Amino acid sequence: MELDVLSVDAWAERVAGDLVERLRSEPTLRLCLPTGDTPAPVYAALATRLEAGEASLEHATVVLLDEWVGLDPDDPARCDGRLRRELLDRVSPGPAAFHRILVDELAPEEAAARHDEVAAGGLGLTLLGLGANGHVGFNEPGSTADGPTRVVTLEAGSGEAAVARYGAKRVPEAGITLGIARLLASDEIWLLVTGARKAEILDQALRGPMGPDVPASFLRSHHKLRVVADTAAAALVTRTP
């Protein structure tokens, strides 16, 4: 595991710059992307750099990490809408393909199965955020390392966060997420973590027991895990024991 601790001011620009480098060296990269407050400043910085011609998504494929079930297509909290607003619609050309999760077109189980097939085509680089309860994607506590892509019942806090933090018009019924097994099959994973409120859970994820109580802890078993945190989120991890 590689741990990069960066200042709050430098964090997003650094991740965006590293993504530019990756896209330049691997233009056909298959990228799995999360949404949420953590990656938003990275996408803003990346969009600016892509628009300045530093690299392009033209030959890249973007696979969405997770999606709410039960929110209207235009709900502000929808993950697909958010990724479009924050990154994909801001760059031209856009990616060769954007694989959203087909929650409007298919029954949830079918949408999950279809998305799993997409991810089975390979993920070169997976970016992840960290939930306050240790989830990654919607792999809530109780998820296992071999967990499949599936429909999940959300913990109360995760559903309410859609309303309180992301402006959803109703509490979503469930979520669809790539399973931990698929995430671990990615060639490389960058776990993005910012803010003091994530310090305790990041410490548990990186230094606590590896197991279903903190699903993010399973990421430590990946051969190419990079954790990119700001100083506030990394406060406990970097403390000498």
Select from 41, 81, 94, 131 the one that contacts ligand GLP (CB under 6 A): 131
Q: Examine residue 34 and say whether the peptide bond preceding it is cis (omega within 30 degrees of 0).
A: no
Using Cβ positions, the residue closest to ligand GLP within the complex turns out to be 129
Smallest gap from residue 223 Cβ to ligand GLP (A):
22
Smallest gap from residue 24 Cβ to ligand GLP (A):
26
Residue in this structure with the two tokens 């995760």, named with its chain if needed: 158
Measured N-to-C along each axis, helices 8-25 and 40-51 cross at an angle, to the nearest 10 degrees, of 50
Smallest gap from residue 95 Cβ to ligand GLP (A):
19
Select from 81, 95, 137, 179 the one that contacts ligand GLP (CB under 6 A): 137
**Residue number with CB closer to ligand GLP (34 or 56):** 34
Select from 81, 108, 129, 134 the one that contacts ligand GLP (CB under 6 A): 129
Asked about 140 being catalytic, the answer comes back as yes
**Residue number with CB closer to ligand GLP (32 or 50):** 32
Q: Is 172 in the site for ligand GLP (CB under 6 A)?
A: no
Asked about 133 being catalytic, the answer comes back as yes
Question: Which of 152, 162, 54 lies closest to 108, judged by CA?
Answer: 152
Provide the strand spans (E) within the chain.
Answer: 2-6, 30-33, 61-64, 66-69, 97-99, 125-128, 150-153, 174-177, 189-193, 225-230
**Residue number with CB closer to ligand GLP (38 or 126):** 38
User: What tokens does 21 get?
Assistant: 């480098």
Measure the CA–CA gap between 129 and 35, rounded to whole angstroms.
8
Select from 11, 43, 98, 138 the one that contacts ligand GLP (CB under 6 A): 138
* Contact by Cβ (8 Å): 114, 175: no
Smallest gap from residue 193 Cβ to ligand GLP (A):
9
- Containing H/E element for 86? helix 79-86
**Residue number with CB closer to ligand GLP (161 or 181):** 161
Site string for ligand GLP, 31-70 (x = CB under 6 A): ---x-xxx--------------------------xx----
Measure the CA–CA gap between 74 and 103, rounded to whole angstroms.
12
Asked about 160 being catalytic, the answer comes back as no
Asked about 66 being catalytic, the answer comes back as yes
What count of Cα atoms within 13 Å lies in the side-chain half-sphere of residue 202? 28
φ/ψ (deg, to 5) at 90: -95, -5
Using CB under 6 A as the criterion, which residues of the chain lie in contact with ligand GLP when the complex forms?
Answer: 34, 36-38, 65-66, 129, 131, 137-138, 158, 161
Active site residues: 66, 133, 135, 140
